[in-house]
Amino acid sequence: MTVNTSTSSAVFNDLGGLANLKARSNRGDEAGALKETAKQFEAIFLNMMLKQMRESSFGDPLFDSDAGDSYRAMFDQQLALNLSESGSLGIARLIENQLGGGLSSRAMDTENPFKPFRFVAPKINNNIQNLDSQPSAKISTEIKKNEFKSADDFVASIWPYAEKAAKELGIPTETLVSQAALETGWGKYLMSSTDGKPSNNLFGIKADNRWGGKVVSVKTTEYRDGVVQKERANFRSYESLQQGFDDYVAFLKSSPRYSEALNSRGNAVEYLNNLQRGGYATDPAYANKIQGIMQGETLLSAKSKLDS
């Protein structure tokens, strides 16, 4: 006879499965415990969904009764558990990946303690492929701290370059400063080569086959079908901040996919939204994050000190 050793409950009212799950985690089997916990969350979600569906219907006037309602609730709970065990909906797998199940370490993201957990819905955009840029390279431990001492120092240092580039693109200077701040964590996590030399790549532009210059190879984060995944990629490296800003402008102007962004008529929000729609970044919240920085106290304070 085959015995099922899964930590998931075989039936909805089997609390022993939950106890076994806790014991399995305490024994150090975190990966297995995480997998089974994700299934439990999926079962809870599906049961809530089925309950709402039942409540939104008119019911069966011929056979409705309190006993019938109880049995239907029990059936729905068992159905939700069976669906989560089958994995056909993929919700448990998504939860597992978000909580660290998709990483080789099977653990939470410890390389970026500044990034909060964010649940991302699947299939954000199925039309964007071979994206040119990825904004989260700053999370890698291979990225060394730069000479920027503070956010104020970062803004003051890059403002002249950003102002020139923004004028060429026809957008407010704050737009580019905010984008660079997001990409590099206000200059604290600028990509660097193995010898510690900064790449001066403030905009996370990857080194594809169109690039013939120097590169830096670092770990980065991609959103694939709504799931966060770590990958290694090559990024462009520049000799100076000026070269980095010049290449950013040339990069956008040379690609038809960013034509709408370049035709934003000075509207920063429209520019950022069109930039994201063009496929600049895989993060579905990329444009909103930059807008948040533009409107935040950090940039406003730094700019006021710059103007004084």
Give the torsion sign (CA, 183, 204, 190, 250).
negative
12/10 Cα distance (integer angstroms) = 7
Task: At 68, list the tokens.
Answer: 């019938």
> Which residues have a catalytic role annotated?
222, 247
Contacts (Cβ under 8 Å, ≥6 apart) of 206 = 132, 133, 134, 233, 234, 235, 236
Q: If phi over 0 gives left and psi between -120 and 50 gives alpha, with beta otherwise, what is residue 170?
A: left
Q: How many CB atoms lie within 10 A of CB 304?
A: 10
Does residue 229 sit in helix, strand or coil?
Answer: strand
Residue-level length of the chain = 308
173/233 Cα distance (integer angstroms) = 29
